[in-house]
Amino acid sequence: MIARRILPLLVALLVLPALFGCKEYGKVMQGRVVEYDKEKQQITFITEVAHDWKNPRYKGLPPVTMTLPADPLEMGPEPKAGGRIELDMSSNRFIVYDKATQGFKDVPFTLVDSLKGVEGDHPLLVDAATGQPKKFPVVDKEKKTITVYSKRQKVLTTVQVADEFLSLPVSTWDAGDEVRIYYLEEGKAQRFMNMSKTDIYKK
Protein backbone atom coordinates (compact mmCIF):
# COMPACT_ATOMS: atom_id res chain seq x y z
CA MET A 1 0.00 0.00 0.00
CA ILE A 2 2.79 2.42 0.93
CA ALA A 3 4.74 1.51 -2.22
CA ARG A 4 1.70 2.34 -4.38
CA ARG A 5 1.58 5.80 -2.82
CA ILE A 6 5.33 6.45 -2.90
CA LEU A 7 6.07 5.53 -6.51
CA PRO A 8 3.64 8.03 -8.09
CA LEU A 9 5.04 10.72 -5.80
CA LEU A 10 8.59 9.89 -6.85
CA VAL A 11 7.70 9.97 -10.53
CA ALA A 12 5.90 13.28 -10.14
CA LEU A 13 8.73 14.89 -8.21
CA LEU A 14 11.36 13.83 -10.72
CA VAL A 15 9.45 14.26 -13.97
CA LEU A 16 7.61 17.52 -13.40
CA PRO A 17 10.72 19.69 -13.07
CA ALA A 18 12.13 18.13 -16.25
CA LEU A 19 8.94 18.89 -18.17
CA PHE A 20 8.41 22.40 -16.89
CA GLY A 21 11.88 23.47 -15.80
CA CYS A 22 11.98 26.46 -18.13
CA LYS A 23 8.56 27.77 -17.03
CA GLU A 24 7.20 28.94 -13.70
CA TYR A 25 5.25 25.77 -13.02
CA GLY A 26 6.90 24.95 -9.71
CA LYS A 27 10.11 23.99 -8.01
CA VAL A 28 11.60 21.02 -6.20
CA MET A 29 13.43 21.35 -2.91
CA GLN A 30 15.22 18.72 -0.83
CA GLY A 31 15.94 19.00 2.88
CA ARG A 32 16.47 17.35 6.24
CA VAL A 33 13.64 17.84 8.75
CA VAL A 34 14.60 19.54 12.02
CA GLU A 35 11.09 20.37 13.27
CA TYR A 36 7.65 18.86 12.69
CA ASP A 37 4.42 20.36 14.00
CA LYS A 38 1.84 17.63 13.53
CA GLU A 39 -1.07 19.81 14.63
CA LYS A 40 -0.27 22.58 12.18
CA GLN A 41 0.98 20.10 9.56
CA GLN A 42 4.16 22.09 9.12
CA ILE A 43 7.77 21.04 8.75
CA THR A 44 10.97 23.01 9.09
CA PHE A 45 13.99 21.70 7.22
CA ILE A 46 17.57 22.46 6.25
CA THR A 47 17.97 22.61 2.49
CA GLU A 48 20.43 20.65 0.37
CA VAL A 49 23.10 22.88 -1.17
CA ALA A 50 25.38 20.56 -3.18
CA HIS A 51 22.74 19.88 -5.84
CA ASP A 52 23.74 16.26 -5.61
CA TRP A 53 20.61 14.50 -4.39
CA LYS A 54 22.32 11.15 -3.94
CA ASN A 55 25.18 12.61 -1.88
CA PRO A 56 23.53 15.62 -0.30
CA ARG A 57 24.96 18.38 1.87
CA TYR A 58 22.38 19.83 4.22
CA LYS A 59 23.82 23.26 4.94
CA GLY A 60 21.26 25.72 3.54
CA LEU A 61 20.27 28.47 6.00
CA PRO A 62 17.99 29.92 7.13
CA PRO A 63 15.74 26.89 7.65
CA VAL A 64 12.65 26.64 5.47
CA THR A 65 9.16 26.10 6.90
CA MET A 66 6.41 24.65 4.73
CA THR A 67 2.85 23.47 5.20
CA LEU A 68 2.31 19.88 4.12
CA PRO A 69 -0.26 18.93 1.46
CA ALA A 70 -3.83 18.58 2.72
CA ASP A 71 -4.50 15.79 0.20
CA PRO A 72 -3.21 12.48 1.66
CA LEU A 73 -2.59 11.21 -1.89
CA GLU A 74 0.11 13.89 -2.25
CA MET A 75 1.84 12.80 0.98
CA GLY A 76 4.50 10.24 1.74
CA PRO A 77 4.99 8.77 5.24
CA GLU A 78 4.86 11.17 8.18
CA PRO A 79 8.23 12.91 8.70
CA LYS A 80 10.49 12.51 11.72
CA ALA A 81 12.42 15.53 12.97
CA GLY A 82 15.93 15.39 14.37
CA GLY A 83 18.78 17.71 15.26
CA ARG A 84 21.72 15.84 13.75
CA ILE A 85 22.72 17.41 10.47
CA GLU A 86 25.96 15.56 9.97
CA LEU A 87 28.06 12.84 11.59
CA ASP A 88 31.58 13.81 10.57
CA MET A 89 33.79 10.81 11.25
CA SER A 90 36.83 12.41 9.60
CA SER A 91 37.00 15.30 12.07
CA ASN A 92 35.27 13.61 15.03
CA ARG A 93 32.34 15.97 15.40
CA PHE A 94 28.60 16.22 15.16
CA ILE A 95 27.03 19.12 13.34
CA VAL A 96 23.66 19.73 14.99
CA TYR A 97 20.84 22.18 14.48
CA ASP A 98 20.51 24.89 17.14
CA LYS A 99 16.87 25.98 17.30
CA ALA A 100 17.67 29.05 19.42
CA THR A 101 19.93 30.57 16.77
CA GLN A 102 18.42 28.76 13.77
CA GLY A 103 21.97 27.82 12.88
CA PHE A 104 24.47 25.01 13.37
CA LYS A 105 26.63 23.98 16.29
CA ASP A 106 29.75 21.83 16.22
CA VAL A 107 29.94 19.17 18.93
CA PRO A 108 33.38 17.53 19.12
CA PHE A 109 33.56 13.95 20.31
CA THR A 110 36.07 11.29 21.27
CA LEU A 111 35.62 8.05 19.38
CA VAL A 112 34.94 5.03 21.60
CA ASP A 113 33.87 2.41 19.08
CA SER A 114 32.81 2.36 15.45
CA LEU A 115 31.66 -0.26 12.99
CA LYS A 116 31.34 0.44 9.28
CA GLY A 117 29.30 -1.37 6.65
CA VAL A 118 26.34 -1.87 8.97
CA GLU A 119 23.17 -2.58 6.98
CA GLY A 120 19.67 -2.20 8.39
CA ASP A 121 19.28 -5.91 9.17
CA HIS A 122 22.56 -6.21 11.07
CA PRO A 123 22.22 -8.14 14.38
CA LEU A 124 23.56 -5.15 16.31
CA LEU A 125 20.56 -3.14 15.16
CA VAL A 126 18.02 -5.72 16.31
CA ASP A 127 16.87 -6.53 19.84
CA ALA A 128 17.62 -10.24 20.28
CA ALA A 129 14.80 -10.72 22.78
CA THR A 130 11.99 -9.12 20.78
CA GLY A 131 13.31 -9.26 17.22
CA GLN A 132 12.40 -5.59 16.87
CA PRO A 133 14.77 -2.84 15.64
CA LYS A 134 16.70 -1.13 18.40
CA LYS A 135 16.07 2.55 18.99
CA PHE A 136 18.91 4.96 18.33
CA PRO A 137 20.44 7.23 19.45
CA VAL A 138 21.28 5.90 22.91
CA VAL A 139 22.57 8.36 25.51
CA ASP A 140 24.44 6.96 28.53
CA LYS A 141 24.99 9.84 30.95
CA GLU A 142 27.09 7.75 33.35
CA LYS A 143 29.59 6.79 30.67
CA LYS A 144 29.10 10.15 28.91
CA THR A 145 28.57 8.33 25.64
CA ILE A 146 26.20 8.62 22.71
CA THR A 147 25.59 5.74 20.31
CA VAL A 148 24.18 6.61 16.91
CA TYR A 149 23.43 4.73 13.72
CA SER A 150 23.68 6.44 10.35
CA LYS A 151 21.72 4.55 7.72
CA ARG A 152 23.17 6.63 4.90
CA GLN A 153 26.78 6.14 6.05
CA LYS A 154 26.12 2.58 7.28
CA VAL A 155 28.00 3.40 10.47
CA LEU A 156 27.21 2.38 14.04
CA THR A 157 29.34 4.39 16.42
CA THR A 158 29.72 5.20 20.10
CA VAL A 159 31.37 8.46 21.12
CA GLN A 160 32.05 10.51 24.24
CA VAL A 161 31.07 14.17 24.47
CA ALA A 162 31.57 16.90 27.05
CA ASP A 163 29.19 17.12 30.02
CA GLU A 164 27.54 20.28 28.69
CA PHE A 165 26.12 18.35 25.73
CA LEU A 166 24.69 15.39 27.63
CA SER A 167 21.74 17.43 28.90
CA LEU A 168 20.54 18.17 25.38
CA PRO A 169 17.41 16.31 24.17
CA VAL A 170 18.05 12.84 22.76
CA SER A 171 16.56 14.03 19.45
CA THR A 172 19.61 16.31 19.08
CA TRP A 173 21.65 13.28 18.04
CA ASP A 174 19.03 11.79 15.74
CA ALA A 175 19.03 12.55 12.02
CA GLY A 176 15.76 13.98 10.78
CA ASP A 177 14.16 12.45 7.70
CA GLU A 178 15.31 13.50 4.26
CA VAL A 179 12.39 14.84 2.26
CA ARG A 180 11.71 16.14 -1.20
CA ILE A 181 9.03 18.72 -1.91
CA TYR A 182 7.40 20.01 -5.06
CA TYR A 183 5.79 23.42 -4.59
CA LEU A 184 4.03 26.08 -6.61
CA GLU A 185 4.00 28.83 -4.00
CA GLU A 186 6.40 29.67 -1.20
CA GLY A 187 5.69 27.99 2.11
CA LYS A 188 3.17 25.48 0.77
CA ALA A 189 4.08 21.98 -0.41
CA GLN A 190 2.13 20.68 -3.38
CA ARG A 191 3.65 17.19 -3.18
CA PHE A 192 5.70 15.67 -0.38
CA MET A 193 7.93 12.62 -0.40
CA ASN A 194 9.73 11.17 2.62
CA MET A 195 12.86 9.68 1.08
CA SER A 196 14.19 8.29 4.36
CA LYS A 197 11.19 6.00 4.68
CA THR A 198 11.55 4.45 1.25
CA ASP A 199 13.92 1.73 0.09
CA ILE A 200 15.32 4.03 -2.60
CA TYR A 201 17.04 6.56 -0.39
CA LYS A 202 19.02 6.08 2.81
CA LYS A 203 19.95 8.62 5.46
Give the closest residue to 116 by CA, choosing from 160, 150, 92, 161. Answer: 150
- Concatenated DSSP letters of 143-171: TTEEEEEETTTTEEEEEE--HHHHTS-GG
8 closest CA partner among 178, 198, 202: 198
For 29, the 3-state DSSP assignment is strand
Question: For 33, phi and psi rounded to 5 degrees?
Answer: -75, 125
Phi, psi of 3 (to 5 degrees): -60, -40
Q: What dotted CATH number matches 2-81+176-196?
A: 2.40.50.320
> For residue 146, is pLDDT > 60?
yes
* pLDDT of amino acid 22: 47
pLDDT in tens, 15-61: 555 544 445 679 999 999 999 999 999 999 999 999 887 789 999 99
The ranges assigned to domains in the chain are 2-81+176-196, 87-170
